[in-house]
């Protein structure tokens, strides 16, 4: 078998050894229900509290609450639908978002639109959040602003600090939510960096297993009951996401976050270095390859196209040579009617061009030798 080269770390990552160890421990030695009152239950509760601290510390949150969920998708749904549920009595309320959000933000917003809420999508041409358009969209009717920290397809880093200043000034009662799934441990996205009230995280993008994520809430959101629960039951996770906790997943998430935070600065530098290397080699060697470079790029994501060639065809060709990239978002691959990527169209590509884009996403295992193999195949 040819050696596999994995350039799809934004779709998911391999599980880190620290996470695997914590997962095993939670499933064996620490198997009790953290809500149980006996000593074994208290041990599990301590492990749960530790994981909460690890995820929160790695985010750079000094206060607030981590609500564990089944992943980024559920955290986004909780933030958006939970906020709308808390505000349902205000008919005619408006939500502001960015053009080209992940489906787990866009689909809940479409549901709310169908129920009579107004949704305004702020342009993101060239990978920059249009702050003037954001300011125009923000008025007293707005009760939620949801803008991702890093776009999962273009790798664009949005200026959330500037967005937060606009939101505070123009609609002080609105909550600011950011989907930081692709930013966590790669691009600064702490509450202080983003000014957000709610931050979505996903475990499997940082070396935890699939099926665990979190929503960070500011102390004010919790105190004012700014969001309503989506899963009612036994009161777990501050009553916002009830159900016996996924302890193996949560403990693995905590361990991956702690280990990842120690390496984050160096990992981001290495990814950025490799991304630049790849771009230079492509520009030197591949005349027909277009790179779609945002104004402020995340270190680990590069979107590219071969003019006129469907992204899926390019993905399949590379896959047949053992090199794995993604065409569109893995999460929208299951959609009944595959659409051209809204993120790439918002970036400025035509619908036909958007269908040619593939995403290369880098992780700790990737090397310059692997980048050379990709460039040779593209050439
Ligand atoms: N938001 C973004 C930006 C993502 O890239 C993803 C994963 N593709 C998600 C949300 C969903 O996260 P999860 O897979 O944990 O549900």
Kindly report the pTM of this predicted structure. Answer: 0.97
Which of 97, 202, 257 has most ligand 1 atoms within 8 Å of its beta carbon, as the pocket-test mutant? 202
Q: Residue 202: CB within 6 Å of ligand 1?
A: yes
Work out which ligand 1 atom sits closest to the CA atom of 74: 16
**Could you write out the DSSP letters of every residue in 52-119?**
HHHHHHHHT-SSSEEEEESSHHHHHHHHHHHHHHHTTTSTT-EEEEETT--HHHHHHHHHHHHTT-EE
Cβ-contact 30, 43 below 8 angstroms: yes
189 is catalytic: no
Backbone angles phi, psi at 190, to 5 degrees: -70, 165
In the reported structure, the alpha carbon of residue 181 is separated from the centroid of ligand 1 by a whole-number distance in angstroms of 6
If one counts every other C-beta atom within 10 angstroms of the C-beta of residue 88, the result is 12
Which of 74, 151, 198, 205 has most ligand 1 atoms within 8 Å of its beta carbon, as the pocket-test mutant? 205
Residue 188 corresponds to which tokens in the numbers above?
């600064």
Residue 330 has pLDDT above 60, yes or no: no
Q: Residue 331: CB within 6 Å of ligand 1?
A: yes
- pLDDT-above-90 percentage for the chain: 93
- Beta strands 118-122 and 94-98, pairing class: parallel
pLDDT in tens, 196-220: 999 999 999 999 999 999 999 999 9
| Distance, CA of 102 to CA of 156 (rounded, Å) | 13
Residue 189 corresponds to which tokens in the numbers above?
């996205």
Q: Residue 211: CB within 6 Å of ligand 1?
A: no
User: For residue 354, what are the CA distances in angstroms to 216, 238, 309, 329?
Assistant: 33, 42, 11, 12
Cβ-contact 43, 32 below 8 angstroms: yes
Residue 155 has pLDDT above 80, yes or no: yes
Cβ-contact 210, 178 below 8 angstroms: no
Which of 12, 73, 153 has most ligand 1 atoms within 8 Å of its beta carbon, as the pocket-test mutant? 73
Residue 320 corresponds to which tokens in the numbers above?
């047949």
Backbone angles phi, psi at 285, to 5 degrees: -110, -20
Average pLDDT over residues 103-127: 97
| Distance, CA of 226 to CA of 67 (rounded, Å) | 14
* Residue 332 banded pLDDT, cuts 50, 70, 90: low
Query: What pLDDT does 302 receive?
Result: 98
Q: How many residues does the chain have?
A: 379
pLDDT in tens, 230-276: 999 999 999 999 999 999 999 999 999 999 999 999 999 999 999 99
List the Cα angle 199/297/302 in 5-degree steps. 105
Q: Residue 180: CB within 6 Å of ligand 1?
A: no
């Amino acid at each position: 078998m040819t050696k596999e080269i994995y350039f799809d770390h934004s779709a998911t990552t391999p599980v880190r050894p620290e996470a695997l160890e914590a997962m095993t421990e939670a499933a064996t030695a620490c198997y009790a229900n953290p809500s149980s009152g006996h000593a074994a239950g208290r041990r599990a509760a301590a492990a749960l509290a530790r994981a909460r601290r690890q995820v929160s510390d790695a985010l750079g949150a000094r206060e607030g609450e981590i609500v564990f969920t089944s992943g980024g998708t559920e955290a986004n749904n909780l933030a958006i639908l939970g906020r709308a549920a808390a505000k349902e009595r205000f008919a005619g309320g408006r939500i502001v978002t960015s053009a080209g959000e992940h489906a787990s933000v866009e689909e809940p917003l479409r549901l709310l639109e169908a129920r009579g809420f107004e949704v305004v999508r702020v342009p993101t041409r060239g990978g920059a959040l249009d702050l003037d358009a954001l300011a125009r969209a923000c008025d007293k009717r707005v009760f939620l602003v949801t803008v991702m920290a890093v776009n999962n397809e273009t790798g664009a880093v949005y200026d959330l600090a500037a967005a937060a200043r606009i939101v505070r000034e123009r609609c002080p009662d609105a909550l600011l939510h950011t989907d930081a799934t692709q930013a966590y441990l790669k691009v600064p996205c702490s509450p202080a960096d983003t000014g957000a009230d709610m931050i979505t995280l996903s475990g499997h993008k940082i070396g935890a297993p699939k099926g665990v994520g979190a929503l960070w809430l500011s102390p004010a959101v919790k105190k004012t009951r700014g969001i309503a629960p989506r899963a009612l039951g036994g009161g777990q996770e501050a009553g916002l996401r009830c159900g016996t906790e996924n302890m193996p997943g949560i403990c693995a998430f905590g361990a991956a976050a702690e280990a990842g935070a120690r390496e984050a600065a160096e990992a981001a530098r290495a990814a950025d270095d490799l991304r630049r290397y790849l771009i230079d080699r492509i520009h030197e060697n591949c005349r027909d390859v277009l790179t779609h470079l945002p104004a402020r790029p995340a270190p680990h994501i590069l979107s590219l196209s071969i003019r006129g060639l469907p992204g899926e065809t390019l993905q399949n060709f590379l896959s047949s040579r053992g090199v794995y990239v993604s065409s569109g978002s893995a999460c929208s691959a299951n959609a009944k009617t595959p659409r051209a990527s809204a993120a790439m169209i918002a970036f400025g590509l035509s619908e036909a061009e958007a269908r040619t884009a593939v995403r290369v996403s880098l992780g700790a295992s990737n090397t310059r030798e692997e980048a050379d193999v990709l460039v040779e195949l593209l050439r």
